[in-house]
A and B are shown apart, each in its own frame.
Chain A
Amino acid sequence: MSARLRWRKFVSNFMLTMTGVCAVVSVAILFLILGYLVVNGGKSINWAFFTQLPKPVGEVGGGMANAIVGSAKLLLVASLIGVPVGFLGGVYLAEFSGAKVASVVRYAADLLNGVPSIVIGIFAYSMAVLPFKQFSTLAGSFALGLMMIPITLRSTEEFLGAVPRMLREGAMALGASKWKTISTVIVPAAYRGILTAILLALARVAGETAPLLFTALGNRYWSPGWGQPTASLPVMIYNYALSPYEDWHRQAWAAGLVLLGLILIINILARTILSRGIAVPRG
């Protein structure tokens, strides 16, 4: 073997090993993050965290019960806004629309998807807070729901489109109308992918903080109904982490662990559902 060839082989092995190092480092970062949260958050999680309201400033103890419920309420209404619009819009694109209209809608959805969340917050403030003179759960949900729309819409279109022609044509041959075909054959065939998309969209907005700053504000207590400001996990984490109180730092870690745990569980669930289902194009 010539020296040159030996050198090239050495370079090859070295560089390829380096790429392996890069991959390992990237994945290691994830585990480091998780590790930190588990270690610091784990020792702060107690029953009080889940059941109690925050205590007055400077006093030790209390919990984030209202923030947990607040986040749940925000996500619930966000889904009620984002999912129907995304899903039905996707149905239109996949089943009814012509090419031109479809490309316009797709373009708009991609645009909306790329809007930074702080700008969504500005928009939601002028649409959902100012006209009603009220910070509210609804306004926060409006902002989060907007962010769910593009993901849901594009995924619905994609998964519906991937349903095999045979199923479609079979149904129509049996005399079913288009609408009946969609609702009883096509959607059920694609439901796994669509469900996955909804879960991923939910996981994405669950951690959003910036839009909530201008819409849901915050609440020391429970938020009655849907028209009042509400506490939420991400905003609490933000406020507590920046404070000088040790006890608040402790609670911020705990909240971070809970929030990340929730998001990761939803993500893993979504991807497992997808991989177990019928073969569909990669997202």
Chain B
Amino acid sequence: MRRTALMLAAGLVLGVLCFAQNGLLINGAGASFPYPIYSKWFDMYHQKNASINFNYQSVGSGAGIRQVTEGTVDFGASDGPMTDEQIKAYQDKRGSEILHFPTVLGAVVPTYNVPGVSGALNFTPEALAGIYLGKITKWNDPAIAGANAGVKLPAQDIVVVHRSDGSGTTYIWTDYLSKVSDEWKSKVSKSTAVNWPVGLGGKGNEGVAGLVKQTPDAIGYVELIYAVQNNIPYGTVKNSSGNLVKADLASVTAAAAGAAKDMPADFRVSITNAPGKTAYPISSFTWLLIPSKIQDAGKRDAIKGFLKWMLTDGQSSTEQLSYAKLPKEVVEKELKAINKVQ
């Protein structure tokens, strides 16, 4: 009898604990590419609106698209815009539209762990495609050494690292490689999950950065902030004008300049290998995937409120995490588009 009473009491305490946190919980899942800025934003927004909690899980763009389509999360996030097929699948399953809202501009950088090399290596598009196709296998291959005069590259095998999960970062990387290499385009093509010719898989941007950091002679592709935060060196990439450009705020913003003016109404656009002397060739927008019909009024208002905040106040926090702000024209278009969320 006493034991039962004790257990009931414990259950009561636990129950109170669980229900004690009031407030609205909004669940989202998706890209790891913008995870650092999203987690910062949602934290900041929570400081301003203590009763609203945005729970964002970095599980990869593929999962973001899938779960928002299934309706198991309130919003998704992806750096690869949804394909026409995926949009149609959403419409069929949910009976409404899915809206893309660009949030920041980011860069995917080639990051590496070559013993003895601490500075920035230069990569040509041919080198990157060759490495990831498995045709260039050693660090001191002429395709790499040719662009890096004066750097001592070891005669070691390159350990290629890619994503093991469905990833928007993969989408950006393969989108770029498809544009600069016909062989890549026909053999592998672009998607959030591809049939990699070579390499190890890491889970999330975090996993790839982790593998590269711990594995000598490795090369991987990650969002810029992951290389910066973890002190892993990353290289420059030759852009369409022939210049070797390092990813930073200016070069990423330059890449988006052209797209900003011609932004389509659904905001789906690719800016890899963009024209421009100073443009960084592996840049991309990243999107929040918001359902056009949100039944719960509280959630709807919270999401719309966040979007507005994100496009205005939020944009001033992006640069400290190495994400570039959205171009003004894009912000204006998006603020109008928020009204589409019903």
Interface residues of A (CB under 8 A from B): 56-58, 69, 72-73, 76, 129-130, 133-135, 217-226, 228-229, 239, 242-245
Contacts and interface: CB of A to CB of B under 8 A. Distances in A.
6 interchain residue pairs of minimum CB distance: A244-B209, A243-B206, A133-B71, A244-B210, A56-B39, A222-B21
27 contacts: A56-B43, A57-B58, A72-B14, A76-B11, A76-B14, A130-B72, A133-B70, A133-B72, A135-B27, A135-B72, A219-B25, A219-B57, A220-B39, A224-B19, A224-B23, A225-B19, A228-B27, A228-B55, A229-B27, A229-B55, A239-B206, A242-B206, A243-B210, A244-B210, A244-B213, A244-B230, A245-B206
A218 B23 CA distance: 18
SS of A interface (majority): loop
Nearest to B35: A57
Contact of A242 (B35, B36, B43, B203): B203
B53 A135 contact: no
Interface residues of B, number: 41
A234 to B, nearest CB: 15
B216 interface: no
Interface of B: 11, 14, 17-19, 21-23, 25, 27, 29, 35-36, 39-40, 42-43, 53, 55-59, 70-73, 202-204, 206-207, 209-210, 213, 225-226, 229-230, 232, 321
B210 A221 contact: no
B159 to A, nearest CB: 16
Given A220-B56, A244-B226, 4 more contacts: A56-B39, A57-B36, A130-B70, A217-B57
Given A57-B39, A242-B203, A226 B226 contact: no
A58 B29 CA distance: 18
A242 B18 contact: no
Contacts of B21: 221-222, 224
Contacts of B206: 239, 242-245
Nearest to A76: B14
Nearest to A221: B53
Contact of A218 (B14, B57, B321): B57
A243 B207 contact: yes
A225 B19 CA distance: 5
A219 B55 contact: yes
Contacts of A76: 11, 14
A69 B17 contact: yes
